[in-house]
Structure 1
Amino acid sequence: MSRILGSIMGKEGTCDVWEDDDGRVYFNADGKIDADGANGQSGAPPAYKEDDTGSDFLANGGMARVNGKVICKKEWARDVVILGSDNEPRVFPGGVIASMTWYRSPGKRADDPFAYVDAETVPYVVVPPLIVQATAGVVRGCKARITFNGRSVDCVVADKSGFTSIGEMSIAAARALHINASPRSGGVSSTDVFFELWPGIAAPGYMLQPS
């Protein structure tokens, strides 16, 4: 048996989130691309760079260049990137502006760019707050899967979105599904992407991290 955990009204319409008796959570949604956590760990392009040549636009991270300096144009950007002493995005060597994921590697400092899950190399799912709030099992670090056009990829829940956003995956997850993985121009606009997650069951190599 399944029950509706709740519904999310987003730009793409209303998405119903379901839960089975065994705790599996699932929904169909679009497939936006998340670059957060990609900070050059693998030698691939970081999500954000000071000169806006990263894999994603500074604007998508709530930032802007003003008088040659990158600032947080949106207040929520301060939850996306590592900040400097001036409470604005900190610039790391190579012009990298390090972005964070909800999941942080145990034992690593919050200001360490390599403490976060690399969107370039790790297939991960981004979940809305509704799922975190409505499920009994721990969601951060749990096992997940995405299916699209007959292909599936196993993932970890590594990031959290806003209240009206649903259907989001890392660059690596999109590549595995043969989806255009560019955070600037890729993704799937139709609601044909199937997401599953198992709160309370850790993804291989990860730990459950209670909220």
Structure 2
Amino acid sequence: MREIGIINGENYSSTIYEDDHGRVYFTADADIDADGANGQNGAPAAYMEDDSGSEFLANGGMKRVGGKVICAHSWARSIVILGADNEPRVFPGGIIASTTWYRHRHLALNDPAAYVDAETVAYIVVPPLIVQETRGIVRGCAARVSWNGKSVDCVVADRGPSNRIGELSIAAARALGIPQSPRHGGLERAEVFYELWPGTPAPGYELQRS
């Protein structure tokens, strides 16, 4: 076993370990990620033009100005599909499509269905440290989250900022009984156990190096 590193954030420290078989694991809180929820499976979308989606536009770095949604922060442009004006593109039904690190590569970059649906797919989010320091490919690999006697198998589908750890999709939270709302849900205490197996693809997914 080796220690990969420690991430300090959100009032706690999480130590990331890798065992002799390549399994990576850590204990953290549970923030809810809504990215990739674009209504592609008949479920609610994360971001809506009128801010009625499962997630606040503000949490995606966006805001409404004069009835139009724009990027309030430059980083928002990396997580939503943009229109010709370099602002969030509005799809039919008022959906603003968000992206995930993992993309179904047979679909176009600007296709909302190309991304992993947080509403219907159990996935976890990892910080760059794990991607950089583990031996196997992380994007698309198998994962598992456990809490309060329950476990759910997942895929690693998104990558978060360097100073945060402990994030899972709406569907993963729902399966564990964790409050699933991206707006008001999740768990603040570091009591959720995360595991992932870099180099081993999750069922139905491929490992993506780049």
- Compute the TM-score of the two structures, normalised by the length of structure 2: 0.99
Note the C-alpha offset of 1:13. Answer: 2.1
Which amino acid is 1:127 matched to? V
Query: C-alpha deviations, 1:23-69, integer Å up to 9, x for none?
Result: 00000000000000000012111000000000000011010111111
Counterpart of 1:142 in structure 2 is 141
Q: For 1:10-29, what aligned pairs fall within 5 Å after superposition?
A: 10-29=9-28
Which amino acid is 1:78 matched to? R
Residue aligned with 1:82, SS: coil
Structure 1 consecutive aligned stretches of length 4 or more whose deviation exceeds 2 Å? none
Which amino acid is 1:145 matched to? R
Whether 2:112 is the aligned partner of 1:113: answer: yes
Query: C-alpha deviations, 1:75-124, integer Å up to 9, x for none?
Result: 11111100011111000000000000000002111100000001011000
Structure 2: runs of 5 or more not aligned: none
Counterpart of 2:103 in structure 1 is 104
Residue aligned with 2:125, SS: strand
Q: How many residues align?
A: 210
Residue aligned with 1:85, SS: coil
Q: What CA distance in whole angstroms lies between the structure 1 residues aligned with 2:133 and 2:122?
A: 24
Is the 2:103–2:114 Cα contact (8 Å) retained in structure 1? yes
Q: What CA distance in whole angstroms lies between the structure 1 residues aligned with 2:137 and 2:13?
A: 25
Which amino acid is 1:151 matched to? K
Which amino acid is 1:124 matched to? Y
Q: What CA distance in whole angstroms lies between the structure 1 residues aligned with 2:131 and 2:11?
A: 21
Whether 2:56 is the aligned partner of 1:53: answer: no
Note the C-alpha offset of 1:10. Answer: 1.1
Identity across the alignment (%): 66
Query: C-alpha deviations, 1:176-210, integer Å up to 9, x for none?
Result: 00111000000011000000000000000000000
Which amino acid is 1:180 matched to? P
Q: What CA distance in whole angstroms lies between the structure 1 residues aligned with 2:141 and 2:93?
A: 33
Task: Select between 197-206 and 62-71 the one with higher mean Cα deviation.
Answer: 62-71
Structure 1: runs of 5 or more not aligned: none
Q: What CA distance in whole angstroms lies between the structure 2 residues aligned with 1:11 and 1:69?
A: 32
Task: Select between 10-19 and 197-206 the one with higher mean Cα deviation.
Answer: 10-19
Query: C-alpha deviations, 1:130-173, integer Å up to 9, x for none?
Result: 00000110000000000000000000000000111110000000
RMSD: 0.7
Counterpart of 2:70 in structure 1 is 71
Counterpart of 2:184 in structure 1 is 185
